[in-house]
Structure 1
Amino acid sequence: MRALLAIALREFAAFFRSAAGWIICALFALLSAVVFLVGFVPGEPATMRLFFVLAGWLTLLIAPAISMRLLAEERRTGTLETLASAPVSDWAVAFGKALGGWACFLTILTPTLVFVVVLERVADPERGPIVAGYLGLALLGLTLIAMGLFFSSLTRSQVAALLATAFVALLSQAAATLGAQAAGRAGMGWLQQTLYALALAPRMEDFGKGVVDTGHVVFFLATSVWFTSLTAMSLEMRRWR
């Protein structure tokens, strides 16, 4: 556990020591502000529901940008071999890097709490949906960080890792949504429900409404553990080559 936390802290510090890290922070702050303003309509009920849905799509870009360097940079510079020779298990490396990347995402997300303060100054929003929405974003970020970490373990190119993560996330979302619609038209309700359960957007919509479904939480956590475990196995395979 100590090694895992040390790796997480190392990744967290490395992210904020880099210029790219601060560029990602600034980009997320700017885009999230735009998203908040789009969803905030004077005279309408005070809610951040649209913000959380749109911020979920924004996370599809930001989370892979955070995770793209976690292992790809190590492979490019050759420090992955040094890390592999250290008395640390590949599982500790994988989960430590995932935890460090998630900590970076949560730190970037924190300034958006200003929007909650602004909203409470001009209206009286329900806090339940806001808390649920942030929980949904945190879980989505964790899942995409874990996915990006896996693709980062397969390449030396950070850009390739970013594009692969974003592509797979968007493709799975589109395939699940379109497949569910096709299954519904074909009268295959069971298949429609199965495919719909794989889509990310409906889950974020539920969180934005204040619905904390245990199934959604389990889905995000299980998917995160699965991709991080794949990363650990990828590192183990590299060790035996």
Structure 2
Amino acid sequence: MRWNPTATGRDLRRNKGKNREKRMSQVMNQYRESLSNAHTIFRKELASYFNSAIAYVVLVVFLAIVGWFHASNVFLANVASLRLMFEIIPAVYLFVVPAITMRLLSEERKSGTIELLVTKPLHDADIVLGKFFAAWALVGAALLPTLIFYGTIAVLGDVDHGPIIGGYLGLFLMGGVYVAIGLFASSLTENQVVAFIIGFVFVFALFMLDKVLFYMPVWLMGVLEYISIDYHFSNITRGVIDTRDIVYFLSVLGLSLYLTVVSLARRKM
């Protein structure tokens, strides 16, 4: 039998193609499985919020504080603007978001269910993403009723919609960053109060960075200003969506989630 190098080359290429398709199929199956796992955890966590008093307390407290300041601004100061609301909500976030996230991993660590989760056929990233999106959805649910304030302002006078849309986008992204940081804090301890304190300290420091620039060396000002979350939020509320600000929010969010995954992985060691 004569050796045919052309046929052999075709066979090699065919085998490589099959192996490539097999690897792609495995990757897609893993991706679908991870997505399904994260979605299951998301639904479980979101349901747990609304099956307890947590979601309702958070929503009532959040809307009561924001609504009071907004009503005072509109009806007492006669200022038809959402500017004050966009200044108040980031400060309210400092307390509300760590309260939402403090139990996400610390409670399961204390009860021992976190060990059950990480030993199941679940990736650490599935657990983190499912819990993250559930808490972020609750923050988004808290923001939704404030659209009523937007409607009242639009009725009372002319509205520049750009800064308002930018403001809501900034609030949603800021909420996501704080949730990711709070989730990381929750992964560090089994005590919910300690998780709240750690989360509060982290987000407070991030929020205050651009407030202390006056006391910093000149060479450090630019760095701290860029790291400060309020600096990027202020940029977005001007109504100009700069990709650098979006990249900042997504980068801090992604880094916090990565650190949370690493924190969970260390429990297996």
Same fold (TM over 0.5): yes
Answering whether residue 211 of structure 2 is matched by residue 182 of structure 1, we say no
- Residues of 1 paired with 2:77 and 2:50: CA distance? 40
- Pick one of 187, 199, 219 that aligns with 2:248: 219
Q: Which ranges in structure 1 are unaligned for 5 or more consecutive residues?
A: none
Give the counterpart letter for 1:200 in structure 2: I
Question: Is the deviation greater in 122-131 or in 203-212?
Answer: 203-212
- Pick one of 107, 130, 144 that aligns with 1:110: 144
Aligned to 1:205: 234
How many pairs are equivalent?
A: 235
Answering whether residue 52 of structure 2 is matched by residue 23 of structure 1, we say no
Aligned to 1:159: 193
- Quote the offset at 1:151 in angstroms: 0.7
Report if the CA contact (8 A) 2:101-2:182 is conserved. Answer: yes
Select the structure of larger CA radius of gyration. Answer: 2
RMSD: 1.8
Report if the CA contact (8 A) 2:210-2:231 is conserved. Answer: no
- Quote the offset at 1:41 in angstroms: 6.1
- Residues of 1 paired with 2:191 and 2:109: CA distance? 9
- Residues of 1 paired with 2:172 and 2:97: CA distance? 10
Aligned to 1:72: 106
1:40 partner SS: helix
Q: TM-score, normalised by structure 1?
A: 0.90
Answering whether residue 130 of structure 2 is matched by residue 96 of structure 1, we say yes
Aligned to 1:126: 160
Q: TM-score, normalised by structure 2?
A: 0.82
Give the counterpart letter for 1:195 in structure 2: L
2:251 partner SS: helix
Q: Which ranges in structure 2 are unaligned for 5 or more consecutive residues?
A: 1-34
> Which consecutive segments of 4 or more residues in structure 1 shift more than 4 A?
41-45
Aligned to 1:143: 177
Aligned to 1:229: 258
Query: Percent of counterpart pairs with the same letter?
Result: 31
Relative contact order (alpha carbons < 8 A, sep ≥ 6): 1 or 2 greater? 1
Report if the CA contact (8 A) 1:53-1:204 is conserved. Answer: no
- Quote the offset at 1:20 in angstroms: 2.1
- Residues of 1 paired with 2:234 and 2:73: CA distance? 14
- Residues of 1 paired with 2:164 and 2:79: CA distance? 14
User: In structure 2, do the counterparts of structure 1 residues 203 and 44 end up closer, same or farther at CA, with 3 Å as the change threshold?
Assistant: farther
